[in-house]
Copies of this chain bind each other. A is one copy, B any other.
Amino acid sequence: MGDRNAPGAMQTSKTPDYEAMVIGAHPDDADFSSAGTSALWAKQGKKIVWVCMTDGTEGSEVPDLADTDLMLTREQEQRMACDILGVQSVEFLRFPDGALTNNQSTRKAIVKLIRKYRPRVVITHDPSTHIYAPDPDESPTLTAYLNHPDHRAAGQIVIDALFPGTVNPRAYRDLLVEGLYPYQVHELYLYFSGNENTYIDISETIELKIKGLQCHVSQLGTETKWLDRIYDRSAAKAKEAKEKKGLTMQYAEAFRRIKLYVPD
């Protein structure tokens, strides 16, 4: 953004504190997408923080729940899941569910957290795919998936926070007063992407992932038949890992991995 050797220039730190920050639009997005990876890294002794961008108040089929009650219930469910996974810290930004928007306010909130935790890796939604749809003639019984507008917004907010917000000393200058200085994230992992290039072997943590998901009772109820789908999808991703990268694993989570900084 400017001359790095100018008098008074502030250098951007590249020394991480946390290993990873996982950012989801709603409570349970991180659980579905990447909890196995979080649990794996946590088992290796690394510090992980999860961030939930919205207040989750649209996440129920029950219309007459009070917003605050639903919000607090879901935050509690998320905290329980994080305990199981070994995630140290959870932050709730409480932007309005269903209306997440990429603007200065949401970008700044993410810049603030990234500067506070200094994660080596940031993991979030891939904002680029809007519709996952098979040809209805070829797959007449399959239905498409419309990517939730909050998911797209969350991914784009994080990317726009990563550059230039987190690294630019003049962006959101009031953060400097609080001691939140420019920091360069090393890697970005995008989940729910159509362009995966990285597979994490979650075979030893898939059970924790399942247990974490089961904390989200308000979302998933108490039946358990949907658990099979988690195993199925994780196995399908492992198969992809074999095909694309020649890697052998039983269960996998898949990401589009992007390098932002390579230490010397």
Chain A interface (Cβ within 8 Å of chain B)?
1-11, 57-67, 98-99, 101, 103-104, 127-128, 130-131, 133, 135-137, 140-144, 146, 148-149, 156, 159-160, 162-165, 168-174, 176-179, 187-188, 197-198, 217-221, 223, 245, 257-262
Contacts and interface: CB of A to CB of B under 8 A. Distances in A.
Contacts of A169: 60-63
A105 B170 CA distance: 18
A255 B62 CA distance: 36
Contacts of A219: 1-3
Copies in the complex: 6
A171 to B, nearest CB: 6
A162 B148 CA distance: 10
A189 B205 CA distance: 41
Contacts of A62: 2, 6-10, 169-170
Contacts of A165: 98
A143 B174 contact: no
Q: Which of A64, A104, A130, A168 has the most CB of B within 10 A?
A: A64
B197 A137 contact: yes
Given A197-B135, A259-B136, A63 B1 contact: no
Per CB-CB distance, the 6 closest pairs between chain A and chain B, nearest first, are A173-B174, A2-B60, A3-B221, A9-B61, A174-B174, A146-B163
A161 to B, nearest CB: 9
A255 B179 CA distance: 43
A130 B128 contact: yes
A143 B264 CA distance: 13
Contacts of A144: 188, 258-260
26 contacts: A1-B61, A2-B59, A3-B60, A3-B61, A4-B221, A6-B218, A6-B221, A10-B63, A60-B170, A63-B173, A67-B178, A98-B165, A98-B171, A127-B130, A133-B259, A135-B197, A136-B197, A136-B258, A137-B197, A140-B259, A143-B262, A144-B258, A146-B162, A172-B174, A173-B174, A176-B177
Given A60-B6, A177-B63, A148 B163 contact: yes
Given A63-B177, A174-B177, A58 B168 contact: yes
A198 to B, nearest CB: 7
A143 B260 contact: yes
A254 to B, nearest CB: 13
Contact of A258 (B133, B170, B177): B133
